[in-house]
Structures are given as structure tokens and as C-alpha cells.
Amino acid sequence: MCEDSKVLVVDDDVVTTRVIEARLRHIELDVHCAHNGPDGIAYATEHVPDLILLDVHMPEMDGFAVCEELKKNPLTTNIPIIFLTADLNTEIKVKAFDAGATDYITKPFDNRELIARVEAALKMRFLINKLQVQALTDPLTGLLNRTALFDELKYKLMRQKSDPDYQFAVLFLDFDRFKVINDSLGHSAGNELLVRVTRSMVDMLDEVLGHKGYTAARMGGDEFVLLIDKPANNQMLTGLAEKLQTELHGPYHIEQFELICSASIGIVLSSGNYEDPESLLRDADIAMYHAKENGKSQSCFFSQQMHEQSLEQLTLEGDLRHALARHELKLLYQPIHCLATGKLTGFEALIRWHHPVRGVISPLTFIPIAEESGLIVPIGWWILYEAASQLKLWRQMYPNMRHLRVNVNLSKRQLITPDFVKHADDILRKTGLPHNAVTLEITESTIMDNMSILTPMLEQLRETGFKLAMDDFGTGHSSLGCLNKFPLDSLKIDRSFINNVDKNHSFAAILNSIVTLAHNLNLVVVAEGIEKLEQLAHLQSLDCDYGQGYLFAKPTDADDVPSMIEQLNQKFRKTG
């Protein structure tokens, strides 16, 4: 275990050093001798031996002073030290341990005792080293782990302080859709993919940058960080990110599957502008998110503007935490009409945030923040309760509104909360509104991206009595072929489609097939965003069932709904 370990002997007595050197070489240790403290320190700093035998009494600088210097230096602080002393005085021995000694040997020493103590110290050193390596390595990939990455970043930032010309770059990689692979094929396939991708990545980096030109670490999950020393320029980094994409791509044959990989990569250059690893990684992470938002499978450099944007998001998130308690959230109701008769059939509840400083904030701005932060869960329960009790109230107050229904939008984060179905059921019971008066809207992308998790949950929701709609249909998720797989009641065709229906023949033809297919599947079709009479006429000719849009009414304050309904009923009674 100890052969070839490097041992430094520091003693002013040449005879002692010779004797020790001979005996330790005999057990195949690599021994070096120094005859005074400063020489010993210089050697230890440069060569970092595995063990030091250090004489206590030396002229110029004694063993305790040498030990103190060695303990101060991070490079030498962990080297075990055995003191050599002719002094049998207990005080001296205690002082030696206080100074950080691992052990001591009294001179003249017995050959077997010297060897036994040296071997024991080296074994200990070996085990500690092993533990340290384990503590700094990611067990799956063998790359550095998060702790080691932070140490390395601290070291690089320190180096930058003493050498302003030194630059390095951080590449933050996150695999695209890795969760889908993990969820559908299981963790062991996911792990195998990570190992194989790591191998391709490391082979490429070794070849392009050399073994010492980079540091690779796994942050956890499917997040990796690369530190690139002294990059020539930004183009070099973009080029490297492109090479990584090519290298990562695969295909990887795992089990019976052929898997393709891609990653989103955020890049930050550190040139003296960072103080701590956290800020560097935060900015690399922000840039990585932008790469993901730009369509995944690409890289993106960090910019100050991105930082400001995320600060803004954080501020909004902080404010949103109090929005419910401060009654800043409000639901508007947009009427939904039967297109054949013009009659009002219900509403879609649409949320608004009345921010005390910024005014009204659109759900398109704050729902993503609520999703990311998890705030959508309590907010979502409030929305369901509020919309259902409001409808119940209208049904009670106005006899001609008893048939009306309400649509409530759900987001993915809400749906995956534990006991979602039970909780939604409880809320409806509390309001006293029948479940089938509520249609829960889930966007096409949410359904398509989480098919396996959501399908059983949608079944349960329907069994409870809720109606289900696929929202924003036609926004590019090609779910048409899968429609029969989901337990749905209606399809809401996205506004972008309706916008073009009177302008573009192919849109009208596609819409025609969608309506026919939906009807064959017993789905009701609702058109969103009808703004013009021409669009309405077209949709009527296609046999589309229901519609909503500015042509009928904009999302309206609850207080204004009763009078608006009266007017609408009259208007469509006349025209219809």
C-alpha cells in the first residue's frame, strides 16, 4: 500500500538522516533529506511528500516553527508529520501534538519501531486521501462533484486576483428532455445514458483541450459544468459548445432503444468580474435557461440584461407571494357562446393581478413565475374556489343563468400536486356547484409533454364529474393523432388559427378536418379569439360548436357580468 510513497526527512544531524534514509529505502519508500527547516519547507511546498519526519531541535529554525509554517500553507497542511526527538520530556511530546504532529519517535530509535510508525502514518494518509477523493468525486460519472467544483472555482477566482490576465470560462450544460427519458425508461437507463454521454464529452475535451485544459464536474441530475482555462476568445467557446452538441448527440443504444441527446449550454466568461462561485454559476445558469427558451439544443452567452431580467422576475415573485393575502388577484369572466344560436353558455375565468405599483399584470407574465415558484398551487385553489362560487351565486341570483358553466385554466404544476383530484373535489363540494358545471382547461402542450402522468389523473377528474378541455389546440404539438387517447370533452382551438381562418384557405381546410375529427370523437369544439364577423360566419359554416372572443365580449369584471348577459341575450335573440 505504501511503496513509492514520498517521505521527507528534516534533521540537521547528517548521520541520523542517512540512517533513516537507508532504512526507509529498504522498504521501498522514496526518501528525500533536508538538513535545515527552510530547505525542508521549500521541498515540501514543491513536492508535497506523503509524510515528513521532522527533528525538534535544529539550529536556525526548530521543528515547531517548521511545523507551524507547513500547517499554514493549504498545499502542505494535510501532510502527516512525525517528530523526531531525543527528549523524553512529556512537555515536548504534548507540544508536538499541539503543533499538529501525527506521532513522535524518540532518538535513538529502534529500527522496527521506526518502520512500524512510518507505515502506520502512511496507511492513515492513504485512507484519508481515498476518503477525500471520494468526497470530491461524483460516483456515477467519476467527474468532480459539486463540492469539488466550488473548491476549484474558488481557487480560480483567487488566482485571478493575483494574475489579472488569467481568464476562464464556465459552461453550464443541462440536457434537454432528460426527465422524459428518466420517467419513461427508468433511472438505470437514465444513469447509463449520463455515463455514456460523459465519456463522449470527456474524450472530445481531452482531444481538443488536453487533459489539463479543462475541469469537468457534475452538479447533480443532468446538470454539468465545464471550466475552460484561458479561452482564446468567444468564438472559440461557441465552437466548443457546438462540438459538444455534436459529440453528445449519439445515438446511444440503451436497452432496446436508440436515444438521441442534446443539451442547452450557458456560457460565462470570468475575467476578474466575479467575487464568488455562486454568482458565476448563477449567471451561467441564467444563460443556460435562455438557451433553453430559445429552443433548446443550443448555447447562449450570459449578458447583463439577462441578469436584470431575472432580478425583475425575483422581485415579482416576492410580490406575488403576498398577492393572494392582499386581495390583489382578480378573476375576469369572458363569455362563451353557442355559435349556431348565439346563446351564452358560460364563461372562461381569466386571472389578473392588480399590482399596487405596476398596475394590472397579465397572466402571461405572472403565471410562469407562479408556476416556477410553486405559488400557482395556492393561487390555483383560490381560482377554482372563486370561479365556482361566483357561478353558483349567479345561478342562484338569476334564474335564466342556471344552465351557465365556467371554464377554469389549470397549469401543469397544479395537476401534479399530490391529491389534486381529491382537493378539487373538496373545493367543488364546498361551493355547492355541481362538478359538471366546471370545465377544467389544460393546454395542449401540458397534456402532450406529460402524457403518461396526466392520463390517469384526467380519467379520475372526469369520474369525479368535471368536464375537461384541451386548451390552445393547434399550437404546434401535433396532438391530433393522439386525441382519442385522452379523456376529453372539448377542444379549444387556438386564437392563432381563428385569426387566419378567413384569410387562408389551407387553415380553413385544416380546421374543417379538425372539427370533423373532433365530432367523430364526441368532442365539442370551441373557437378562441373570434374578433370579426367574417371569422364567426366561417366558423359557423364549419359547424364549430362554441366560441369566445372580443366580437362577443372582452374578459369582464364579475360585477359587470349580469348586465352584460342581459344585453347579450337580447342582441342574439334579435340576430339569432
Query: Which three cell numbers mark 196?
Result: 455514456
Chain Cα centroid distance, residue 562? 46
Pairing of strands 344-355, 359-361: antiparallel
Should residue 334 be labelled a site residue for ligand C2E when binding is judged by CB under 6 A?
yes
Helix (H, G, I), strand (E, B) or coil at 173: strand
Closest CA to 167 of 225, 231, 238, 235: 231
Residue nearest to ligand C2E (CB): 549
Residue of 350, 401, 458, 558 interacting with ligand C2E (CB under 6 A): 350
Helix (H, G, I), strand (E, B) or coil at 508: helix
What is the helix (H) or strand (E) element at residue 226, kind and residue range? strand 223-229
Residue 369 binds: one of Mg ion, ligand C2E, none (C-beta under 5 to 8 A by kind) = none
Among 156-164, 308-316, 403-411, 502-510, the segment contacting Mg ion (CB under 5 A): 403-411
Residue number with CB closer to ligand C2E (285 or 528): 528
Should residue 1 be labelled a site residue for ligand C2E when binding is judged by CB under 6 A?
no
Helix (H, G, I), strand (E, B) or coil at 442: strand
> Minimum Å distance from CB 219 to ligand C2E?
30
Residue number with CB closer to ligand C2E (215 or 414): 414
Query: Which three cell numbers mark 37?
Result: 527547516
Should residue 384 be labelled a site residue for ligand C2E when binding is judged by CB under 6 A?
no
Write the CB contacts of 183 (distance below 8 Å, at least 6 apart in sequence): 452, 453
Residue 439 binds: one of ligand C2E, Mg ion, none (C-beta under 5 to 8 A by kind) = none
What is the C-alpha separation between 487 and 469, in angstroms, rounded?
Answer: 9
> Minimum Å distance from CB 391 to ligand C2E?
14
Site string for ligand C2E, 444-483 (x = CB under 6 A): ---------------------------xx-----------
Residue of 102, 270, 411, 431 interacting with ligand C2E (CB under 6 A): 411
What backbone phi and psi angles, to 5 degrees, belong to 26?
Answer: -60, -35
Should residue 479 be labelled a site residue for Mg ion when binding is judged by CB under 5 A?
no
Should residue 346 be labelled a site residue for ligand C2E when binding is judged by CB under 6 A?
no
- Find where cell 361566483 sits: 390
Should residue 362 be labelled a site residue for ligand C2E when binding is judged by CB under 6 A?
yes
Q: Are 70 and 53 in contact (CB under 8 A)?
A: no
> Minimum Å distance from CB 176 to ligand C2E?
23
Residue 390 binds: one of Mg ion, ligand C2E, none (C-beta under 5 to 8 A by kind) = none
Residue number with CB closer to Mg ion (283 or 471): 471
Should residue 555 be labelled a site residue for ligand C2E when binding is judged by CB under 6 A?
yes
In terms of residues, how long is the chain? Answer: 576
Write the CB contacts of 62 (distance below 8 Å, at least 6 apart in sequence): 37, 56
Query: Which three cell numbers mark 270?
Result: 470570468
Q: Are 251 and 259 in contact (CB under 8 A)?
A: yes
Contacting residues toward ligand C2E, per CB under 6 A: 334, 349-351, 362-364, 367, 383, 409-411, 441, 471-472, 495, 528-531, 548-550, 555
